[in-house]
């Protein structure tokens, strides 16, 4: 893991995510990229026709240049704040225009980012939303792992990571969790595999348990791991509650989920039936894009 991207809008929750990302970067010896994406209000570039005036091309260009200068100052201040005067990790500054989620993902791919670290707000307009909309969009539309950090979370050593899955634990699945395995090795963390079974079928659960034992002993070599079966009977609210309870009972530091071709991410984070439970916001979420 050589490159970590920190998108920022210069808000408090973005700064908090920046602090967290810096601590990760120091442990894994990576560099960071700090990106601010901005849009120029259309009303400034193209005033209402009844105003009687239209800015010239030169005036529009001047406005853009001024915004870029202001952004550069804010980026430098943001960098100084999250680095706290330290020389490490190496930090690069960048800015772009356009839709935030699209710009973030494009920049991440361009710079070969291994991880995107983003902040989430404590209070959102939708009672059923537990991730900030932009963070959610970046997670859903990207191909790079995203670590979502709630604004009240402070960095602490990553001792335990939970992986929530609902399919057979095989080589393909482990490849998707490569980032989690790297985290575990860097931080000497335990991995807790949470199998979220849709039924009480003992045969189904045994098949999964056997696949875990066959694969994990080699693929998780050198990492302490444990397996837990969580039955949800297709009830999304119960699933969230049970995962929530396990996380807090076992002091889990990070929850990891796959976001494509598995429905756990949508069940836990998007369902209108589920309110913003503690584990949605009070521990970091490591979202892994599927294939």
- Domain boundary pick from 150, 169, 187: 150
CA atoms within 13 A on the CB side of 90: 5
- Do residues 40 and 97 share a domain? yes
Domain identity same for 123 and 48: yes
Q: What is the pTM of this model?
A: 0.84
133 and 190 housed in the same domain: no
| Residues 139, 203 share a domain | no
Number of domains in the chain: 2
Residues 179 and 125 in one domain: no
- 18 and 125 in a single domain? The answer is yes
User: Where a domain ends, among 122, 150, 178?
Assistant: 150
Domain end marker among 126, 150, 174: 150
User: What's 66's domain CATH number?
Assistant: 3.40.50.620
Alpha-carbon distance of 122 to 150, in angstroms, equals 7
Residue 199 within any structural domain of the chain: yes
Strand ranges for the chain from DSSP E: 3-7, 31-38, 91-97, 115-120, 146-150, 160-165, 190-197, 225-231, 254-258, 285-288
**Secondary structure class of 108 (helix, strand, coil):** helix
pLDDT tens-digit profile, the chain (291 residues): 899 999 999 999 999 999 999 999 999 999 999 999 988 765 455 555 555 566 677 887 888 889 999 999 999 999 999 999 888 899 999 999 988 999 999 999 999 999 999 998 755 443 334 456 788 788 888 889 999 998 889 999 999 999 888 766 566 676 677 888 889 999 999 999 888 776 666 777 777 777 777 777 777 888 999 888 887 656 666 777 888 889 999 999 999 988 764 455 555 554 433 333 434 557 899 988 875
Confidence (pLDDT) at 34: 98
Predicted local distance difference test score (pLDDT) of residue 262: 45
118 DSSP β-pair partners = 148
Distance of alpha carbon 148 from the chain centroid: 3
Asked whether residue 155 is assigned to any structural domain, the reply reads: no
In angstroms, rounded to a whole number, what is the distance separating the alpha carbons of residues 166 and 201? 14
Strand 285-288 to 146-150 pairing: antiparallel
Q: Are residues 134 and 170 in the same domain?
A: no
Per-residue confidence (pLDDT) for residue 51, from 0 to 100: 54
pLDDT of residue 266: 53
State which residues form the domain around 48: 3-150
């Amino acid at each position: 893991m050589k490159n970590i991207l920190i998108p920022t809008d210069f808000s408090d929750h973005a700064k908090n995510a920046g602090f967290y990302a810096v601590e990760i970067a120091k442990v894994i010896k990576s560099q960071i990229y700090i990106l601010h994406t901005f849009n120029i209000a259309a009303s400034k570039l193209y005033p209402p026709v009844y105003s009687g005036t239209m800015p010239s091309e030169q005036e529009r260009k001047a406005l853009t240049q001024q915004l870029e200068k202001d952004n550069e100052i804010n980026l430098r201040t943001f960098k100084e704040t999250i680095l706290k005067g330290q020389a490490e990790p190496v930090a690069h500054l960048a800015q772009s225009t356009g839709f935030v989620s699209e710009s973030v993902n494009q920049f991440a791919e361009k710079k070969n980012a291994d991880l995107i670290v983003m902040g989430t707000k404590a209070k959102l307009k939708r009672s059923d939303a537990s991730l900030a909309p932009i963070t959610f969009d970046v997670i859903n539309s990207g191909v790079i792992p995203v670590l979502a950090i709630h604004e009240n979370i402070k960095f602490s050593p990553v001792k335990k990571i939970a992986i929530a899955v609902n399919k057979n634990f095989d080589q393909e699945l482990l490849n998707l969790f490569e980032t989690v395995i790297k985290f575990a090795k860097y931080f000497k963390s335990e991995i807790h595999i949470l199998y979220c079974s849709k039924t009480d079928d003992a045969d189904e659960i045994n098949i999964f348990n056997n696949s875990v034992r066959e694969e994990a002993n080699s693929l998780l070599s050198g990492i302490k791991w444990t397996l837990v079966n969580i039955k949800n009977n297709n009830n999304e609210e119960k699933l969230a509650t049970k995962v929530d309870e396990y996380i807090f009972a076992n002091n889990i530091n990070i929850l990891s989920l796959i976001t494509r071709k598995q429905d756990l991410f949508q069940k836990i984070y998007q369902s209108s039936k589920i309110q913003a439970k503690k584990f949605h916001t009070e521990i970091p979420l490591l979202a892994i894009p599927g294939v």
